[in-house]
Structure 1
Amino acid sequence: MVKNKTSSARSSRLWKLFLSTLYISSFTFGGGFVIVTFMKKKFVDELHWIDEQEMLDMTALAQSSPGAIAVNAAILVGWQVEGLVGMTVAVLGTIIPPMIILSVISVFYNAFAANHYIALLLKGMQAGVAAVILDVVFDLGGKVLKTRSWVYIALMAAAFVANTVFDVNVVVVILAAAAFGVVRTLNQWKKRGAK
Protein backbone atom coordinates (compact mmCIF):
# COMPACT_ATOMS: atom_id res chain seq x y z
CA MET A 1 0.00 0.00 0.00
CA VAL A 2 2.82 2.40 0.91
CA LYS A 3 4.62 1.48 -2.31
CA ASN A 4 1.50 2.37 -4.35
CA LYS A 5 1.26 5.76 -2.62
CA THR A 6 4.94 6.46 -3.30
CA SER A 7 4.56 5.36 -6.92
CA SER A 8 1.43 7.49 -7.28
CA ALA A 9 3.16 10.54 -5.75
CA ARG A 10 6.13 10.11 -8.10
CA SER A 11 3.86 9.74 -11.13
CA SER A 12 1.98 12.87 -10.10
CA ARG A 13 5.23 14.79 -9.67
CA LEU A 14 6.55 13.61 -13.07
CA TRP A 15 3.27 14.57 -14.75
CA LYS A 16 3.42 18.02 -13.11
CA LEU A 17 7.06 18.37 -14.22
CA PHE A 18 6.14 17.48 -17.81
CA LEU A 19 3.14 19.83 -17.94
CA SER A 20 5.13 22.65 -16.35
CA THR A 21 8.02 22.41 -18.82
CA LEU A 22 5.57 21.96 -21.71
CA TYR A 23 3.63 25.08 -20.66
CA ILE A 24 6.76 27.17 -20.07
CA SER A 25 8.28 26.13 -23.39
CA SER A 26 5.01 26.71 -25.28
CA PHE A 27 4.48 30.28 -24.14
CA THR A 28 8.02 31.60 -23.80
CA PHE A 29 9.70 33.49 -26.59
CA GLY A 30 13.16 35.00 -26.58
CA GLY A 31 15.61 32.26 -25.78
CA GLY A 32 17.04 30.42 -22.85
CA PHE A 33 17.28 33.21 -20.30
CA VAL A 34 13.57 33.84 -20.59
CA ILE A 35 12.79 30.16 -20.04
CA VAL A 36 15.19 30.02 -17.08
CA THR A 37 13.32 32.94 -15.51
CA PHE A 38 9.99 31.13 -15.83
CA MET A 39 11.53 27.89 -14.57
CA LYS A 40 12.73 29.76 -11.49
CA LYS A 41 9.28 31.19 -10.87
CA LYS A 42 7.67 27.76 -11.29
CA PHE A 43 10.12 25.38 -9.62
CA VAL A 44 11.62 27.67 -6.96
CA ASP A 45 8.93 30.19 -6.07
CA GLU A 46 5.74 28.20 -6.71
CA LEU A 47 6.49 24.48 -6.29
CA HIS A 48 9.55 24.81 -3.97
CA TRP A 49 11.23 21.81 -5.60
CA ILE A 50 14.55 23.66 -5.95
CA ASP A 51 16.05 26.43 -3.84
CA GLU A 52 17.32 29.74 -5.24
CA GLN A 53 21.01 28.92 -4.94
CA GLU A 54 20.52 25.65 -6.83
CA MET A 55 18.66 27.51 -9.60
CA LEU A 56 21.46 30.08 -9.80
CA ASP A 57 24.02 27.27 -10.12
CA MET A 58 21.87 25.50 -12.72
CA THR A 59 21.57 28.70 -14.74
CA ALA A 60 25.36 29.08 -14.76
CA LEU A 61 25.81 25.45 -15.81
CA ALA A 62 23.10 25.66 -18.48
CA GLN A 63 24.69 28.80 -19.94
CA SER A 64 28.23 27.45 -19.92
CA SER A 65 27.39 24.02 -21.37
CA PRO A 66 27.11 23.39 -25.11
CA GLY A 67 23.61 23.39 -26.56
CA ALA A 68 20.42 25.31 -26.00
CA ILE A 69 20.11 26.94 -22.57
CA ALA A 70 16.47 25.87 -22.25
CA VAL A 71 17.26 22.20 -22.84
CA ASN A 72 20.31 22.33 -20.57
CA ALA A 73 18.23 23.92 -17.81
CA ALA A 74 15.49 21.30 -18.31
CA ILE A 75 18.08 18.53 -17.99
CA LEU A 76 19.39 19.96 -14.72
CA VAL A 77 15.96 20.73 -13.23
CA GLY A 78 14.54 17.35 -14.22
CA TRP A 79 17.56 15.52 -12.79
CA GLN A 80 17.31 17.46 -9.52
CA VAL A 81 13.57 16.82 -9.20
CA GLU A 82 13.25 13.14 -10.22
CA GLY A 83 16.58 11.80 -11.46
CA LEU A 84 16.97 10.24 -14.91
CA VAL A 85 13.22 9.83 -15.52
CA GLY A 86 12.62 13.45 -14.43
CA MET A 87 15.37 14.63 -16.77
CA THR A 88 13.80 12.76 -19.70
CA VAL A 89 10.32 14.08 -18.90
CA ALA A 90 11.55 17.69 -18.52
CA VAL A 91 13.50 17.56 -21.79
CA LEU A 92 10.50 16.15 -23.67
CA GLY A 93 8.26 18.86 -22.24
CA THR A 94 10.78 21.49 -23.27
CA ILE A 95 11.50 20.34 -26.84
CA ILE A 96 8.01 19.34 -28.04
CA PRO A 97 6.59 22.90 -28.45
CA PRO A 98 9.52 24.35 -30.45
CA MET A 99 9.65 21.25 -32.64
CA ILE A 100 5.96 21.58 -33.51
CA ILE A 101 6.09 25.37 -33.95
CA LEU A 102 9.24 25.26 -36.12
CA SER A 103 7.81 22.43 -38.21
CA VAL A 104 4.70 24.52 -38.96
CA ILE A 105 6.76 27.66 -39.64
CA SER A 106 9.11 25.79 -41.99
CA VAL A 107 6.15 24.61 -44.08
CA PHE A 108 4.74 28.15 -44.34
CA TYR A 109 8.05 30.05 -44.15
CA ASN A 110 7.53 32.21 -47.24
CA ALA A 111 4.08 33.32 -46.06
CA PHE A 112 5.41 34.16 -42.57
CA ALA A 113 8.49 36.02 -43.85
CA ALA A 114 6.47 38.33 -46.09
CA ASN A 115 3.62 39.00 -43.64
CA HIS A 116 3.63 42.57 -42.27
CA TYR A 117 1.57 41.62 -39.20
CA ILE A 118 3.96 38.83 -38.23
CA ALA A 119 6.85 41.33 -38.47
CA LEU A 120 4.98 43.74 -36.16
CA LEU A 121 4.18 40.90 -33.75
CA LEU A 122 7.86 39.96 -33.58
CA LYS A 123 8.87 43.60 -32.92
CA GLY A 124 6.46 43.75 -29.99
CA MET A 125 7.77 40.45 -28.66
CA GLN A 126 11.34 41.80 -28.74
CA ALA A 127 10.38 44.51 -26.24
CA GLY A 128 8.82 41.95 -23.93
CA VAL A 129 11.84 39.67 -24.19
CA ALA A 130 14.17 42.57 -23.35
CA ALA A 131 12.13 43.26 -20.19
CA VAL A 132 12.29 39.61 -19.10
CA ILE A 133 16.06 39.48 -19.70
CA LEU A 134 16.47 42.64 -17.60
CA ASP A 135 14.51 40.89 -14.86
CA VAL A 136 16.98 37.98 -15.00
CA VAL A 137 19.94 40.37 -14.90
CA PHE A 138 18.63 42.19 -11.83
CA ASP A 139 17.69 38.93 -10.11
CA LEU A 140 21.01 37.14 -10.70
CA GLY A 141 23.09 40.31 -10.27
CA GLY A 142 21.31 41.04 -7.00
CA LYS A 143 22.24 37.61 -5.69
CA VAL A 144 25.90 38.25 -6.52
CA LEU A 145 25.75 41.62 -4.74
CA LYS A 146 24.14 39.99 -1.69
CA THR A 147 27.19 37.76 -1.27
CA ARG A 148 29.11 40.95 -0.36
CA SER A 149 32.19 39.31 -1.84
CA TRP A 150 34.32 41.90 -3.58
CA VAL A 151 35.84 39.10 -5.68
CA TYR A 152 32.50 38.04 -7.18
CA ILE A 153 31.34 41.63 -7.62
CA ALA A 154 34.61 42.54 -9.37
CA LEU A 155 34.36 39.43 -11.55
CA MET A 156 30.77 40.33 -12.52
CA ALA A 157 31.82 43.92 -13.38
CA ALA A 158 34.87 42.72 -15.33
CA ALA A 159 32.74 40.26 -17.32
CA PHE A 160 30.27 43.02 -18.15
CA VAL A 161 33.00 45.45 -19.24
CA ALA A 162 34.82 42.77 -21.26
CA ASN A 163 31.65 41.91 -23.17
CA THR A 164 30.09 45.35 -23.66
CA VAL A 165 33.12 47.65 -23.94
CA PHE A 166 35.77 45.40 -25.44
CA ASP A 167 33.35 43.13 -27.34
CA VAL A 168 34.93 39.94 -25.95
CA ASN A 169 33.00 36.87 -27.03
CA VAL A 170 30.56 35.58 -24.39
CA VAL A 171 32.07 32.09 -24.57
CA VAL A 172 35.51 33.50 -23.68
CA VAL A 173 34.01 35.49 -20.79
CA ILE A 174 32.21 32.41 -19.43
CA LEU A 175 35.27 30.16 -19.78
CA ALA A 176 37.49 32.77 -18.09
CA ALA A 177 35.02 33.15 -15.21
CA ALA A 178 34.77 29.36 -14.87
CA ALA A 179 38.57 29.01 -14.84
CA PHE A 180 38.80 31.75 -12.20
CA GLY A 181 36.21 29.93 -10.08
CA VAL A 182 38.08 26.62 -10.35
CA VAL A 183 41.44 28.19 -9.44
CA ARG A 184 39.90 30.08 -6.50
CA THR A 185 38.18 26.95 -5.19
CA LEU A 186 41.38 24.87 -5.48
CA ASN A 187 43.30 27.57 -3.58
CA GLN A 188 40.67 27.57 -0.83
CA TRP A 189 40.89 23.76 -0.56
CA LYS A 190 44.69 23.93 -0.32
CA LYS A 191 44.47 26.54 2.45
CA ARG A 192 42.00 24.38 4.40
CA GLY A 193 44.20 21.32 3.91
CA ALA A 194 47.26 23.20 5.17
CA LYS A 195 45.55 24.05 8.47
Structure 2
Amino acid sequence: MEQNNHKFLLRKLFFSTLYISSFTFGGGFVIVTFMKRKFVDELHWLTEQEMLDMTALAQSSPGAIAVNASILVGWHMAGALGAAVAVLGTILPPMLILSVISLFYAAFASNPYVALVLKGMQAGVAAVILDVVCGLGQNVVKEKKLLSLCIMAAAFIATFVFDVNVVYIILAAGLIGLLRVYLPLKGGRKK
Protein backbone atom coordinates (compact mmCIF):
# COMPACT_ATOMS: atom_id res chain seq x y z
CA MET A 1 0.00 0.00 0.00
CA GLU A 2 2.80 2.41 0.92
CA GLN A 3 4.57 1.73 -2.39
CA ASN A 4 1.38 2.66 -4.28
CA ASN A 5 1.16 5.92 -2.30
CA HIS A 6 4.79 6.67 -3.16
CA LYS A 7 4.16 5.97 -6.86
CA PHE A 8 1.05 8.15 -6.74
CA LEU A 9 3.03 10.95 -5.08
CA LEU A 10 5.79 10.73 -7.70
CA ARG A 11 3.25 10.69 -10.53
CA LYS A 12 1.41 13.70 -9.03
CA LEU A 13 4.71 15.52 -8.55
CA PHE A 14 5.78 14.85 -12.15
CA PHE A 15 2.49 15.94 -13.72
CA SER A 16 2.22 18.97 -11.44
CA THR A 17 5.67 20.25 -12.38
CA LEU A 18 5.06 19.35 -16.05
CA TYR A 19 1.81 21.32 -16.03
CA ILE A 20 3.36 24.29 -14.22
CA SER A 21 6.35 24.37 -16.54
CA SER A 22 4.17 24.04 -19.65
CA PHE A 23 2.27 27.22 -18.83
CA THR A 24 5.05 29.31 -17.32
CA PHE A 25 6.43 31.98 -19.59
CA GLY A 26 8.79 34.75 -18.59
CA GLY A 27 11.39 33.40 -16.25
CA GLY A 28 11.87 31.79 -12.92
CA PHE A 29 9.88 34.06 -10.64
CA VAL A 30 6.75 33.36 -12.65
CA ILE A 31 7.02 29.67 -11.80
CA VAL A 32 7.19 30.48 -8.09
CA THR A 33 3.64 31.88 -8.23
CA PHE A 34 2.34 28.75 -9.93
CA MET A 35 4.25 26.49 -7.54
CA LYS A 36 2.80 28.34 -4.55
CA ARG A 37 -0.72 27.98 -5.90
CA LYS A 38 -0.24 24.29 -6.62
CA PHE A 39 1.90 23.04 -3.72
CA VAL A 40 0.78 25.42 -0.94
CA ASP A 41 -2.79 26.43 -1.76
CA GLU A 42 -4.12 23.42 -3.68
CA LEU A 43 -2.19 20.31 -2.55
CA HIS A 44 -1.11 21.61 0.89
CA TRP A 45 2.25 19.87 0.51
CA LEU A 46 4.12 22.97 1.72
CA THR A 47 3.42 25.84 4.07
CA GLU A 48 3.81 29.43 2.88
CA GLN A 49 6.94 29.74 5.01
CA GLU A 50 8.47 26.61 3.44
CA MET A 51 7.70 27.97 -0.04
CA LEU A 52 9.25 31.31 0.89
CA ASP A 53 12.36 29.56 2.23
CA MET A 54 12.60 27.34 -0.87
CA THR A 55 12.24 30.38 -3.12
CA ALA A 56 15.09 32.12 -1.30
CA LEU A 57 17.29 29.01 -1.58
CA ALA A 58 16.40 28.48 -5.25
CA GLN A 59 17.18 32.11 -6.09
CA SER A 60 20.48 32.16 -4.22
CA SER A 61 21.73 28.88 -5.71
CA PRO A 62 23.45 28.68 -9.10
CA GLY A 63 21.21 27.71 -12.00
CA ALA A 64 17.67 28.37 -13.09
CA ILE A 65 15.28 29.20 -10.27
CA ALA A 66 12.57 26.96 -11.79
CA VAL A 67 14.84 23.91 -11.73
CA ASN A 68 16.25 24.77 -8.30
CA ALA A 69 12.76 25.20 -6.82
CA SER A 70 11.65 21.91 -8.40
CA ILE A 71 14.62 20.13 -6.86
CA LEU A 72 13.76 21.51 -3.43
CA VAL A 73 10.04 20.69 -3.66
CA GLY A 74 10.75 17.22 -5.06
CA TRP A 75 13.35 16.49 -2.38
CA HIS A 76 11.01 17.72 0.33
CA MET A 77 8.21 15.45 -0.89
CA ALA A 78 10.03 12.27 -1.93
CA GLY A 79 13.79 12.55 -1.49
CA ALA A 80 16.27 12.17 -4.35
CA LEU A 81 13.81 10.35 -6.61
CA GLY A 82 11.24 13.10 -6.01
CA ALA A 83 13.82 15.73 -6.94
CA ALA A 84 14.67 13.86 -10.16
CA VAL A 85 11.00 13.44 -11.09
CA ALA A 86 10.23 17.11 -10.39
CA VAL A 87 13.21 18.28 -12.44
CA LEU A 88 12.22 16.05 -15.35
CA GLY A 89 8.70 17.48 -15.29
CA THR A 90 10.10 21.00 -15.15
CA ILE A 91 12.65 20.75 -17.96
CA LEU A 92 10.65 18.73 -20.51
CA PRO A 93 8.31 21.53 -21.75
CA PRO A 94 10.99 24.20 -22.32
CA MET A 95 13.33 21.62 -23.84
CA LEU A 96 10.67 20.53 -26.34
CA ILE A 97 9.53 24.07 -27.12
CA LEU A 98 13.08 25.36 -27.59
CA SER A 99 13.92 22.38 -29.81
CA VAL A 100 11.00 23.20 -32.10
CA ILE A 101 11.77 26.93 -32.07
CA SER A 102 15.41 26.31 -32.92
CA LEU A 103 14.36 24.37 -36.02
CA PHE A 104 12.25 27.28 -37.25
CA TYR A 105 14.18 30.17 -35.72
CA ALA A 106 14.54 32.22 -38.90
CA ALA A 107 10.79 32.09 -39.56
CA PHE A 108 9.94 32.99 -35.95
CA ALA A 109 12.47 35.83 -35.69
CA SER A 110 11.16 37.70 -38.74
CA ASN A 111 7.42 37.13 -38.16
CA PRO A 112 5.71 40.37 -36.97
CA TYR A 113 2.82 38.41 -35.40
CA VAL A 114 5.18 36.38 -33.27
CA ALA A 115 6.86 39.64 -32.18
CA LEU A 116 3.46 41.06 -31.16
CA VAL A 117 2.55 37.92 -29.21
CA LEU A 118 5.88 38.10 -27.37
CA LYS A 119 5.30 41.78 -26.52
CA GLY A 120 1.89 40.90 -25.08
CA MET A 121 3.39 38.05 -23.09
CA GLN A 122 5.99 40.42 -21.60
CA ALA A 123 3.20 42.54 -20.08
CA GLY A 124 1.54 39.46 -18.62
CA VAL A 125 4.83 38.21 -17.21
CA ALA A 126 5.49 41.57 -15.56
CA ALA A 127 2.10 41.34 -13.82
CA VAL A 128 2.81 37.80 -12.59
CA ILE A 129 6.24 38.82 -11.25
CA LEU A 130 4.65 41.78 -9.47
CA ASP A 131 2.15 39.34 -7.93
CA VAL A 132 5.04 37.22 -6.60
CA VAL A 133 6.82 40.26 -5.17
CA CYS A 134 3.66 41.50 -3.46
CA GLY A 135 2.81 38.05 -2.08
CA LEU A 136 6.28 37.38 -0.70
CA GLY A 137 6.59 40.95 0.58
CA GLN A 138 3.24 40.60 2.33
CA ASN A 139 4.56 37.59 4.22
CA VAL A 140 7.55 39.61 5.45
CA VAL A 141 5.25 42.45 6.53
CA LYS A 142 2.94 40.00 8.36
CA GLU A 143 5.92 38.78 10.43
CA LYS A 144 6.16 42.28 11.94
CA LYS A 145 9.89 41.82 12.54
CA LEU A 146 11.80 45.07 12.26
CA LEU A 147 14.99 43.43 10.97
CA SER A 148 13.15 41.61 8.17
CA LEU A 149 11.35 44.81 7.16
CA CYS A 150 14.64 46.73 7.14
CA ILE A 151 16.35 44.06 5.02
CA MET A 152 13.47 44.10 2.52
CA ALA A 153 13.47 47.92 2.31
CA ALA A 154 17.26 48.04 1.98
CA ALA A 155 17.16 45.41 -0.78
CA PHE A 156 14.62 47.42 -2.77
CA ILE A 157 16.58 50.65 -2.32
CA ALA A 158 19.88 48.96 -3.23
CA THR A 159 18.32 47.42 -6.35
CA PHE A 160 16.25 50.29 -7.70
CA VAL A 161 18.08 53.38 -6.45
CA PHE A 162 21.72 52.30 -6.42
CA ASP A 163 21.56 49.50 -9.04
CA VAL A 164 23.45 47.06 -6.79
CA ASN A 165 23.96 43.60 -8.25
CA VAL A 166 21.41 41.16 -6.84
CA VAL A 167 24.19 38.71 -5.91
CA TYR A 168 25.61 41.21 -3.40
CA ILE A 169 22.14 41.83 -1.97
CA ILE A 170 21.54 38.09 -1.50
CA LEU A 171 24.96 37.62 0.09
CA ALA A 172 24.41 40.56 2.45
CA ALA A 173 20.94 39.32 3.44
CA GLY A 174 22.33 35.82 3.99
CA LEU A 175 25.13 37.20 6.17
CA ILE A 176 22.62 39.19 8.23
CA GLY A 177 20.53 36.02 8.61
CA LEU A 178 23.57 34.08 9.80
CA LEU A 179 24.49 36.79 12.27
CA ARG A 180 20.90 36.88 13.50
CA VAL A 181 21.02 33.17 14.22
CA TYR A 182 24.63 32.89 15.40
CA LEU A 183 24.94 35.90 17.70
CA PRO A 184 22.17 34.90 20.14
CA LEU A 185 23.77 31.45 20.47
CA LYS A 186 27.20 32.91 21.10
CA GLY A 187 26.04 35.28 23.85
CA GLY A 188 23.48 32.95 25.34
CA ARG A 189 19.73 33.26 24.97
CA LYS A 190 17.66 35.27 27.37
CA LYS A 191 14.42 33.69 28.46
**Match among 131, 139, 145 for residue 135 of structure 1:** 131
Amino acid of the residue matched to residue 120 of structure 1?
L
Shift, 1:180, TM fit:
1.1
Matched, 1:161 2:157: yes
Within 5 A, what are the aligned runs for 1:68-87?
68-87=64-83
Q: 2:12 aligns with which of 7, 13, 16?
A: 16
Task: Identify the match of residue 30 of structure 1 among 5, 26, 35.
Answer: 26
Matched residue, 2:84:
88
Q: Number of aligned residue pairs: give it.
A: 191
Matches within 5 A, 1:166-181: 166-181=162-177
2:160 & 2:180 partners in 1: Cα distance?
A: 25
2: CA distance between counterparts of 1:81 and 1:153?
Answer: 31
Correspondent of 2:144 among 141, 148, 151: 148
CA 150–193 in structure 1, closer or farther in 2 if over 3 Å, else same: closer
1:6 corresponds in structure 2 to: 2
| Cα drift, residue 125 of structure 1 | 0.5
Q: Which runs of 5+ in 2 are unaligned?
A: none
Q: Which runs of 4+ in 1 moved over 2 A?
A: 191-195
- 1:30-69 equivalences in 2 (<5 Å): 30-69=26-65
Counterparts of 2:142 and 2:150, CA distance in 1: 13
Query: SS at the partner of 1:166?
Result: coil
Post-superposition shift, 1:183?
A: 1.4
Supply the distance in 1 between the matched residues of 2:127 and 2:134 (Cα, whole angstroms).
11
CA distance in 2, matches of 1:48, 1:91: 20
1:194 Cα deviation after fit: 8.0
Alpha-carbon distance between aligned partners in 1 of 2:80 and 2:31, rounded to the nearest angstrom: 21
Give distance in 2, aligned partners of 1:188 and 1:155: 19
Paired residue type of 2:68 = N
User: Which one of 84, 95, 99 corresponds to residue 95 of structure 2?
Assistant: 99
Q: Offset of 1:107 from its aligned partner?
A: 1.1
Gaps of 5+ in 1: none
Cα distance in 1 for partners of 2:67, 2:184 equals 33
SS in 2 for 1:44: helix
Shift of 1:191: 3.2
Q: In the aligned structure 2, how far is the partner of 1:77 from the partner of 1:176?
A: 25
How much has 1:192 moved relative to structure 2?
A: 3.2
Q: CA deviation at 1:193?
A: 5.6
**Alpha-carbon shift at residue 169 of structure 1 (Å):** 0.6
